[in-house]
Structure 1
Amino acid sequence: MSQIALPLEQKIPPGQGGYLVTPANEDIHCQLQNWRDWAHHTLILTGPAASGKSTMAASFAAESGGLVVDDARAHEDAEIFHLWNRANMEERPLLLVSEQPVPEWGVTLPDLKSRLAASLHLDIGAPDQAMIEGLLQKYFALRGLTISDDALRYLEKRMVRSYDMVRQLAQKMDSLAIASRKPINLGIAKAALDHFDDGDEKVEI
């Protein structure tokens, strides 16, 4: 599968399920495409909020017909154990999704512990520059807006590299642009970032 090209005016290629693929998550994307090769037909996907896990899972389910358990930590041991066995018996892929790594799930069933330990584990790391740029462009494109190149460069050099911060900054810039009736420009980007650095201090935009 091809990697998304930026800027966002170029549409996401079919088969990428509506999520962006950059070097930050390219290995995970490839593994989701190669589900036939999973050890024990199971993949455990972990990562922070807003990192695209649910969108990836939905795309995987549509393309593979596999089983998906979102927020796997919240499910009973017996349920996960049954699904793991079913996946192996039917040779049908099982994707377990969680924000927390397996050691934090509180699994007490010994047989399930051993099965999860033998399964493939992947964790979504921090977004890279291309991911941050693509996510911000996508957020505003869906609202019929654009973000200026100098605003993107400013944020990429100074912001905390996390998916949640991308989401929070996008929402803050959106609200500031509406309030000031201005486009998403460098002034808006500075004001949004200053909001998270210094609280609600007023900044000229």
Structure 2
Amino acid sequence: MTGQLAFDLPARETFRREDFFVSPANATALAALDAGDWPGGKLVLTGPAGSGKTHLARLWAAETGTPVIPGTTLGDADPQALAATGRLVIEGADAVAGHATAEVALFHLHNLLCPAGRLLLTARHPVRDWGLTLPDLHSRLSAAGVATLDLPDDALLSAVLVKLFADRQVTVPPTLIPWLVARMERSIAAARALVAELDAKSLAERRPISQKLAAEVLDKMEDG
């Protein structure tokens, strides 16, 4: 009898409102986005890696039909073309710091979009810590509104884990969720990776997902 084949089928990441779990870690940032009254038409979403900046920014982009570009591409960008819709999301906007061409492009984008349009930027740190070398750009972005996300709290991580298991049609013991939350890295990305590893190992070894299997996966992820 042949062994069971385990297919690693990644769950599709979506950025719908119903897939965004509101908790004290992100409620203030979500409210700032929804309010729409950003100072000068610009808002900076800040927070550590894994806090959900990308999900929140892309949720807003999807609901408003706004283009999204990474900050690392601004050096080759055409500001006029990017500003055509009157709205833009720049993920990891702090990547422009120290790159003259990229800083100039962001400066022109700012002037084309603000204050009449909307410019949403994500970064791990406030503008003052980016290390911008173009004084006029630093001055303009420092006047932007700021919304800060914290690392996911227990409630948010629990909700994310439940959703990720459900997306894979995997049933786990109810006690496993708080057990995982107490031991895993506190980020959305870590939750996604953990669920994928648990699902793959369970399929490959024909074992149900339990605390024992989860402990093995967590140990492997820490070592790797």
TM-score normalized by structure 2? 0.71
| CA-CA distance at 1:110 after TM superposition | 0.4
Greater RCO (Cα-Cα under 8 Å, separation 6 or more)? 2
Pairs within 5 Å for 1:53-68 = 53-64=53-64, 65=66, 66-68=87-89
Residue 205 of structure 2 is matched in structure 1 by: 180
1:71 to 75, 92, 103: 92
- By how many angstroms is 1:74 displaced? 3.2
How has the CA–CA distance of structure 1 residues 63 and 196 changed in structure 2, closer, same or farther, with 3 Å as cutoff? closer
Instruction: Please say if 1:18 is aligned against 2:19.
Output: yes
Distance 2:48 2:119 in 1: 20
Pairing 1:188-203 to 2, within 5 Å after superposition: 188-197=213-222, 199=223
Match of 1:8 in 2: none
1:83-113 CA-partner distances (Å, limit 9, x unpaired): 2222224x21210123454345331110111
What secondary structure sits across from 1:149 in the alignment? coil
8 Å CA contact retained: 1:17, 1:55: no
Match of 2:123 among 80, 94, 98: 98
1:140-159 aligned within 5 A: 140-159=165-184
Query: Could you list the per-position Cα deviations for residues 140-184 of structure 1 after superposition, in whole angstroms to 9, with x for gaps in the alignment?
Result: 222121332111121122333233432332232122212222233
Alignment RMSD (CA, Å): 2.5
Shift of 1:196: 3.9
Cα distance, 1:114 vs structure 2: 1.0
Corresponding residue to 2:149 among 113, 124, 127? 124
Query: 1:146–1:103: structure 2 CA closer, same or farther, 3 Å change rule?
Result: farther
- SS where residue 45 of structure 2 aligns? strand
Alpha-carbon distance in structure 2 between the residues aligned to 1:61 and 1:160: 28
Residues 150 and 185 in structure 1, CA contact (< 8 A), matched pair in contact too: no
Matched, 1:109 2:130: no
After the TM superposition, which parts of structure 1 deviate over 6 Å for at least 4 consecutive aligned residues? none
**8 Å CA contact 2:47, 2:150 repeated in 1:** yes
Unmatched tracts of structure 2, length 5 or more: 1-14, 67-86, 97-101
Alpha-carbon displacement from aligned partner over 1:45-75 (angstroms, at most 9, x marks no partner)? 1234444323322221233453211221334
Q: Check conservation: 2:45, 2:146, Cα contact below 8 A.
A: yes
